[in-house]
Amino acid sequence: MTSKAFEGGLIPIQNWYAPSLTSNKEARLGDWSIDEIVGLLHAGVSHRGAV
């Protein structure tokens, strides 16, 4: 069985869709390392220039 963690989905209580962190089609983070994503979440910026 393949893990579906971080694949995104609808959060009905908040009426909000969380984009997939594993696909380049949505959040464009599919080829980022975990350390790069964590750094972006902590600092709000990355060496890739995303905010």
Q: Tell me the two tokens of residue 5.
A: 């963690």
Q: How many residues does the chain have?
A: 51
Model pLDDT, residue 16? 92
Contact 37, 44 (CB under 8 A): no
* 22 vs 4: CA distance, rounded Å: 9
Given a cut of 80, is residue 50 above it in pLDDT?
no
Please compute the mean of the pLDDT values over residues 24-43 and round it to a whole number.
84
Contact 21, 27 (CB under 8 A): yes
Given a cut of 60, is residue 1 above it in pLDDT?
no
Q: Tell me the two tokens of residue 51.
A: 């905010």
